[in-house]
Amino acid sequence: MTIKGGVINNTTALYLIEEMNNCGIDIDFQAHLKECTADYHDNCYQNDSPTIVLGFVLNPETGKYDPDPDAEFSAIMGEVYTQVVASKYKTNCRICSPCYPDQNNLDEPGDWETYSLPPDMYDPEHNIVPEIVLIKEVI
């Protein structure tokens, strides 16, 4: 069985937003930088719902971001939901709604193997922590 990507509400794992702020790459801003020659971008760049990637590296051949094989997890963060596309961890959950085809819902336990955020993204005092296991070999 193939492990599928997981979708999670950005507020489900307490430390996800902090990780985004500390380590995330705003790919919309990176695209802006390619076109803008200004030294400061407070007046020329505004995006209320940027797309942030975590655990990705820029592929110099394609100019796009690919999952970093050395990262604990790779995720695409939107305004409300994050898609975990690769991880060294997995859990079991339910299939997502048609809004996220071929992915599973990390907010609902179930029977489908799904890439997960690492356990340290959750605070047991504030979050329901799913049963997360380390994947022995990441493909």
Chain segment 26-72, per-residue pLDDT in tens: 998 888 888 888 888 888 888 888 899 999 999 999 989 999 999 99
* pTM of the entire predicted model: 0.88
CB 73 within 8 A of CB 86: yes
- The mean of the pLDDT values for the chain is 90
So what's the pLDDT on residue 112?
96
The 10s digit of each residue's pLDDT in 99-111 is: 899 999 999 999 9
For residue 32, the model assigns a pLDDT of: 87
HEC-encoded secondary structure of 53-120: EECEEECCCCCCEEECCCCCEEEEECCCEEEEEEECEEEEEEECCCCCCCEEEEEEECCEEEECCCHH
pLDDT at 94: 95
Q: What is the mean pLDDT of residues 75-92?
A: 95
Beta-bridged to residue 62, according to DSSP, are none
* Chain segment 53-64, per-residue pLDDT in tens: 999 999 999 989
pLDDT over 70 at 116, yes or no: yes
Could you state, in order of their start, the residue ranges of all structural domains in the chain?
A: 5-34+49-134
Q: What does the pLDDT look like over 129-139, one tens digit per residue?
A: 889 999 976 45
> What percentage of residues in the chain have a pLDDT greater than 70?
97
Read off φ and ψ for residue 127, nearest 5 degrees: -125, 155
Q: Residue 113 has which token pair?
A: 């193997």
